[in-house]
Amino acid sequence: MFQLLLFSLFLSSTPDSLRSETINGKVYVIHQVGEKETLYSIAKRYGASIADVLAQNPSADAGIEVGQILKVPYTPRVKGQPPKVTADGVVHKVAAKETLFSIARQYNVSVDDIKAWNNLKETSLNLGQEIVIRKKTITETVTEPTSPTSASTHTVAPKETLFSIARQYGMTVSKLKEWNALDGNELKIGQVLTVAEPTNKAPIIKDQPVTEVKPAEVKTNPVAISESITGTDEIRETGMVELIPGTEGNRKYLGQHRTVKPGTILKVRNLTTNQEVFVRITGAPTSADPSIMLRISRSACERLGSTDCEPFKVEVTYYK
């Protein structure tokens, strides 16, 4: 009953979730695609995988459009036993891979709220730890900070990228770059990034000197990957891409890669136009040219802004 209540609250707070349907005991969300949404972001929102979404919406394999209606499998993020209900709120038991950020988003509260309610000084949690989630009353006031605090900033750790940091805080790379006045994608270890929209409107001065921190001195916490993603190793590659012959009439976004196993979903970004597309790997390329890292279908090529589909440079991201 409590999980159903949480789910109904979740739908009511998500304007593009039109309704829910239960088929053979499985809950599905009827979702209307919003601006700038992708299959990845929609699947992540409802705790599903991209393959689950495509299984229910085969036409989405060729791309999605604003206003399109999708049926998405919903997997509750609460694991194990339901939280204990008390007069003041609920007691949540920390499950594997959960973070303060994911728990705060689950109950529609802030990370600062949870830290205050549980007298937490740090953001690290232990498996099985009990976290109190209190009911908010009309007498509670929320103090807006005038400058970024520890909860609204992130210190770059080794191997972190703009993409992984943006995913960790549930935002887009473009927003992260805008809030930090970044022109490129390069980051430095120890660099402090704003990960919440600044409340003070003072202009950000670019090219501020960044203090270099040796990797041995940086304390790193593992980035929590969504339960809908298999594996935790993010792979990024840069190389040349060309057209898969014979795909002129195919509307699907397909790809061929020398080492990635068939069925894997790759995110491909055109380094010239900065446009992106998700492609499904069908096998290895037959091209003998070793300089070609990836082959993609005509529809995927056009999605990346290349009408002639001559070889061009891209960046691909996928998970091991």
* pLDDT reported for residue 183: 85
pLDDT attached to residue 268? 92
Taking the C-alpha atoms of residue 21 and residue 25, their distance in angstroms, rounded to an integer, is 10
- Give the residue among 148, 320, 315, 300 at the shortest CA–CA distance from 229: 320
Distance, CA of 228 to CA of 39 (rounded, Å): 12
Digit-coded pLDDT (tens) for 264-280: 898 999 998 899 999 99
pLDDT, position 288: 65
Is the model more confident about 51 or about 216?
51
Q: What is the DSSP letter of 185?
A: S
In angstroms, the CA 118 to CA 315 distance is 42
The proportion of the chain whose per-residue pLDDT surpasses 70, expressed as a percent, equals: 75
Instruction: Convert the pLDDT of each residue in 283-320 to its tens digit.
Output: 888 766 778 888 899 888 888 988 788 888 999 998 77
pLDDT of residue 178: 87
pLDDT at res. 269: 93
Q: List, in order of start, the domains of the chain with CATH numbers.
A: 2-73 (3.10.350.10), 84-134 (3.10.350.10), 150-217 (3.10.350.10), 234-319 (2.40.40.10)
Can you give the pLDDT at residue 17?
Answer: 65
Residue 210 has phi, psi (to 5 degrees) of: -110, 130
C-alpha–C-alpha distance, residues 304 and 314, integer Å: 9
* Higher pLDDT, residue 202 or 123: 123
* Residue 181 pLDDT: 87
pLDDT average, residue stretch 232-250: 83
Reported in sequence order, the residue ranges of the chain that DSSP labels E, i.e. its strands, are 17-23, 26-32, 69-73, 84-85, 89-93, 130-134, 153-155, 192-194, 234-243, 254-257, 265-270, 276-283, 292-296, 312-319
Q: Is the pLDDT of residue 221 over 60?
A: no
Percent of the chain at pLDDT above 90? 5
The CA–CA distances, whole Å, from 263 to 27, 141, 278, 285 equal: 25, 49, 12, 14
pTM of the model: 0.31
Strands (E) in 181-291, as ranges, are 192-194, 234-243, 254-257, 265-270, 276-283
What's the length of the chain? Answer: 320
Q: How many CB atoms lie within 10 A of CB 285?
A: 18
Residue 125: C-alpha distances to residues 26, 30, 100, 130 (Å): 31, 34, 7, 9
63 compared with 75, residue with greater pLDDT:
63
